[in-house]
């Protein structure tokens, strides 16, 4: 496609309150180096204008890999009897948080599978301790839970919640999540917003049955719901799951989806996901040049980190706690950016301002 035509479509998508699915599909199909260069440069400009030049850090602690669900793509699904299950103690979690606070990080992401016996009071206590001792922003990523638990954790001081939709195509959603319900998930996101959480969503690119059309609709879903954070990563098949023999998601399509999400949502915080960095090369770097503004160093203590295996080949599983930050500083410097040690709260209330292109 000609440079002129690509720029024309990009400007139309950027300036539209409801971009056309066909335009998004067209841009998702960019495949040659000259085409993606234009797309990523445009997304990079939008990122710079609305999210700044810094790369925000969110330190992640994967505190429990037990899960009651059976997502067909995930190595933690309850039917996988080959992995070692673990649950960190409060002092193990707080020790990791102390280390990230000592390195100047201002956000902790407490992530787990959707454990059926998650102790809500225990987690509330952990949140309170983090707030009192270290004054960090707390993001939870512990799945679909009762609204009373969401309320309890919010009252304890939790600021944000990640609950990725994975795909907005109901048919694909149903086929990959045998025990789950799409509407229930969307309702959980609504409950979280109503409680005042900054809410994150996201998708996996390359799922069985997914098309560019459905990804285009995912991006419109992000725009409609004005999520504070959106994670987009490639599907990586796990050998102990039903989808073991499926093809990997393509880096190219994942990066195109990321760039378009930046252009369409403008203000959402977009991580260069660990999954994007776990393909044949570290595509997080390209992601940061195509709209992303967040990195998530792993602070899960050893020896547990390798057991949080959503997908195989996850990068940085052998590193010591705290080793990731200097590495990410080098990565940022390599693309003339810097790590941003601020809280990085939502930018979303500014939506609707500004023109570009």
The residue ranges that bind ligand SF4 (CB under 6 A) are 67, 69, 71, 74, 76-77, 113-114, 143
Distance, CA of 152 to CA of 154 (rounded, Å): 6
Closer CB to ligand SF4, 101 or 118, in the complex: 118
Instruction: Provide the H-helix boundaries in 52-181.
Output: 90-102, 120-134, 147-156, 170-176
The answer to whether 106 and 341 are in contact (CB under 8 A) is yes
252 alpha-carbon distance from chain centroid: 17
Three-state secondary structure readout of 166-202: ECCCHHHHHHHCCCCCHHHHHHHHHHHHHCCCEEEEE
Q: How far is the CB of 141 from ligand SF4 (least distance, A)?
A: 9
Among all chains, which residue has been given the structure tokens 């939709």?
A: 165
- From 147, 88, 75, select the one nearest 122 (Cα to Cα): 88
Q: How far is the CB of 276 from ligand SF4 (least distance, A)?
A: 17
Closer CB to ligand SF4, 77 or 168, in the complex: 77
- From 299, 312, 304, select the one nearest 65 (Cα to Cα): 304
Closer CB to ligand SF4, 76 or 126, in the complex: 76
Q: How far is the CB of 72 from ligand SF4 (least distance, A)?
A: 9
Closer CB to ligand SF4, 36 or 210, in the complex: 210
Q: How far is the CB of 83 from ligand SF4 (least distance, A)?
A: 11
Closer CB to ligand SF4, 76 or 290, in the complex: 76
Q: How far is the CB of 166 from ligand SF4 (least distance, A)?
A: 8
């Amino acid at each position: 496609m000609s440079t002129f035509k690509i720029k024309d479509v990009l400007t139309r998508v950027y300036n539209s309150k409801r971009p056309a699915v066909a335009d998004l599909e067209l841009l998702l199909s960019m495949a040659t180096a000259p085409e993606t260069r234009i797309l990523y440069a445009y997304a990079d400009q939008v990122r710079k204008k609305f999210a700044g030049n810094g790369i925000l850090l969110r330190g992640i602690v994967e505190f429990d890999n037990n899960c009651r669900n059976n997502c067909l793509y995930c190595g933690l699904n309850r039917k996988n009897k080959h992995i070692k299950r673990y649950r960190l103690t409060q002092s193990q979690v707080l020790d990791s948080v102390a280390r990230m606070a000592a390195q100047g990080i201002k956000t902790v992401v407490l992530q787990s599978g959707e454990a059926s016996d998650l102790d809500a009071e225990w987690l509330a206590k952990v949140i309170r301790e983090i707030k009192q001792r270290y004054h960090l922003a707390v993001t939870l990523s512990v799945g679909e839970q009762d609204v009373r638990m969401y309320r309890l954790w919010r009252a304890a001081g939790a600021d944000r919640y990640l609950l990725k939709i994975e795909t907005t195509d109901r048919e694909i959603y149903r086929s990959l999540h045998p025990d789950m319900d799409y509407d229930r998930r969307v309702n959980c996101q609504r409950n979280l917003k109503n409680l005042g959480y900054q809410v994150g969503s996201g998708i996996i690119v390359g799922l069985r049955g997914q098309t560019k059309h459905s990804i285009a609709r995912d991006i419109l879903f992000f725009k409609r719901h004005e999520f504070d954070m959106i994670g987009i990563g490639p599907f990586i098949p796990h050998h102990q799951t039903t989808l073991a023999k499926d093809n990997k998601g393509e880096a190219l399509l994942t990066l195109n989806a990321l760039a378009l999400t930046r252009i369409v949502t403008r203000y959402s915080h977009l991580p260069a996901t660990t999954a994007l960095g776990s393909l044949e090369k570290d595509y997080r770097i390209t992601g940061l040049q195509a709209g992303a503004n967040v990195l998530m160093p792993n602070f899960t203590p050893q020896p547990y980190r390798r057991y949080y295996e959503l997908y195989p080949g996850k990068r940085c599983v052998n590193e010591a706690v705290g080793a990731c930050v200097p590495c990410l500083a080098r990565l940022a410097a390599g693309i003339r950016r810097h790590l941003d040690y601020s809280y990085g709260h939502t930018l979303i209330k500014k939506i609707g301002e500004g023109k570009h292109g």
